Amino acid sequence: MNPFSQILNFAVYIATQVLLVRNLVLFDRGFCFIYIGFLLLIPFEISTTVLMLIGFGTGLIVDIFYDTLGMHTAACVLLMFLRQSWINLLTPRGGYENVYYPSLKMMGVEWFATYALPLIFVHHLLLFYLEAAGFEFFFFTLTKVLASVAFTFLTILIVQFLFYPAPKKP
C-alpha cells in the first residue's frame, strides 16, 4: 500500500466510525470500534514510535468526535505500543515472505485472529475501564469489553472480506 492509500483508508475508517458505527450498539453491551481496524492493518515495517504517533492522532480525532477526553487516545497509544512486540512474538524465525501488512487474506484467518483479538481486547479493556473510572462495576464492564471485542472483530473481518483484495499470486 502506498501512502495515499493509507491516508484514504484512515479517512474512510474514521468517517465510518464517526458517521455510521458510533450509534450502533448490540444489546446495550456491544460497541463497535471499527477505526482500530486501520491501526491493525498498518504495514509491518513502521517503527513503534511512528506507530504510537499514528495511534495518538487516530485516538485524538475519535476523542474529539466522541467527546471522551483522551480515553480513545490512551487506548490507541497502548495498542500501538504493544502491536510490534505482539507481531514479533507471532513472526516465525525466517520472517514473512512478501507480506507488506497484516491482513486477513494475506496471513489467513487463524493468524489474523491470533494477532488481532488480543490487541482489540487490550484496547477495549483500557477504554471501558477508563470510561468506568475504576473497578466498581467490574463484571458489567467486563461484559461490555467481551461483547465489544467480538462485535469489533467480526466487523473488521467482514470489512476485510468485502473490501480488501486477495494477494496476487506470482
List the pLDDT tens digit at each of the 170 positions of the chain: 677 888 998 999 999 999 999 888 888 889 999 999 999 999 888 899 999 999 999 999 999 999 998 999 999 999 999 998 998 888 777 666 666 778 887 888 898 999 999 999 999 999 999 999 888 889 999 999 999 999 999 999 999 988 876 666 54
112 in any annotated domain = yes
101 in any annotated domain = yes
51 in any annotated domain = yes
Q: What cell was used for 102?
A: 497484516
- Backbone dihedral angles phi then psi of residue 98, each to the nearest 5 degrees: 55, 35
169 in any annotated domain = no
Cβ count near 3 (within 10 Å): 7
Q: What cell was used for 123?
A: 484496547
- Could you tell me the residue range of the domain that residue 20 belongs to? 3-163
Which pLDDT score is estimated for 73? 96
Eight-class DSSP state of 22: T
Instruction: List, as own/partner pairs, every contact residues 44-53 make where C-beta atoms lie below 8 angstroms and the sequence separation is at least 24, other chains included.
Output: 44/87, 44/96, 44/99, 44/100, 44/101, 44/102, 47/84, 48/80, 48/81, 48/83, 48/84, 51/80, 51/81, 51/83, 51/84, 52/77, 52/80, 52/81
What is the number of structural domains in the chain? 1
Which pLDDT score is estimated for 139? 94
Which pLDDT score is estimated for 11? 93
